[in-house]
């Protein structure tokens, strides 16, 4: 069964927490898009999987709720005493996501994580071109308008682990 394959892949790759919910329990908020618009990460309008290029809230919501189930994943990472490990943490999370994508490449799933799509460097959006690989586009949870803070609280998952530890959230839709 697909669920068992996904759980086996999640356990093999290695995450710290996961919760299984219905797709309709995902939380979307215009406030998240408003934060994206402040462009602190530099992806606003510069990545096809981030707003406004990822579409409006309804389009983003529909992309995820086209699936029935969601498994929310969390990897808790230490950012360093002076946040000096932030970039390395991002690479580690990207690696975990790629391992998971590889394991489930033949399955009808949608996997999203933090940050914009990193399939090409740079994203075609930076030069105002259409996405080079629409079928392989990697969606961002925040860039799709998901309210991870509220969702993590509701699911009793670790968003802020204290002592410079934070949760990096990802989702598998199926
Ligand atoms: S596949 Fe390439 S062009 Fe398309 S969103 Fe991802 S990085 Fe951008």
User: Does the Cβ of 137 fall within 6 Å of ligand 1?
Assistant: yes
The domain ranges of the chain are 2-173
Q: Rounded to whole angstroms, how far apart are CA atoms 165 and 146?
A: 21
User: Does the Cβ of 133 fall within 6 Å of ligand 1?
Assistant: yes
- Residue 41: per-residue pLDDT: 86
How remote is the CA of residue 85 from the centroid of ligand 1, in Å?
26
Residue nearest to atom 5 of ligand 1 (CA): 48
Residue nearest to atom 2 of ligand 1 (CA): 120
How remote is the CA of residue 51 from the centroid of ligand 1, in Å?
13
- Residue 15: per-residue pLDDT: 97
pLDDT in tens, the chain (174 residues): 999 999 999 999 999 999 999 999 999 999 999 999 988 888 999 999 999 999 999 999 999 999 999 999 999 999 999 999 999 999 999 999 999 999 999 999 999 999 899 999 999 999 999 999 999 999 999 999 999 999 999 999 999 999 999 999 999 999
User: Does the Cβ of 117 fall within 6 Å of ligand 1?
Assistant: yes
Tell me the backbone φ, ψ of residue 36, rounded to 5 degrees.
-60, -40
Tell me the backbone φ, ψ of residue 148, rounded to 5 degrees.
-70, -35
């Amino acid at each position: 069964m697909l669920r068992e394959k996904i759980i086996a892949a999640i356990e093999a790759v290695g995450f710290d927490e996961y919760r299984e919910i219905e797709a309709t329990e995902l939380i979307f908020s215009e406030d998240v898009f408003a934060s994206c618009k402040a462009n602190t990460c530099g992806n606003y309008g510069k990545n096809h999987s981030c707003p406004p290029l990822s579409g409006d809230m309804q389009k983003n919501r529909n992309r995820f709720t086209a699936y029935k189930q969601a498994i929310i994943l969390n990897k808790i990472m230490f950012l360093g005493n002076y946040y000096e490990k932030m970039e390395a943490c991002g690479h580690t999370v990207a690696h975990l996501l790629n391992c998971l994508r590889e394991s489930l490449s033949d399955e009808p799933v949608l996997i999203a994580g933090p940050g914009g799509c990193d399939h090409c460097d740079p994203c075609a959006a930076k030069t105002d071109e259409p996405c080079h690989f629409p079928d392989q586009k990697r969606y961002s949870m925040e860039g799709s308008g998901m309210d991870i803070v509220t969702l993590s609280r509701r699911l009793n998952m670790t968003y802020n682990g204290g002592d410079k530890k934070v949760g990096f959230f990802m989702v598998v839709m199926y």
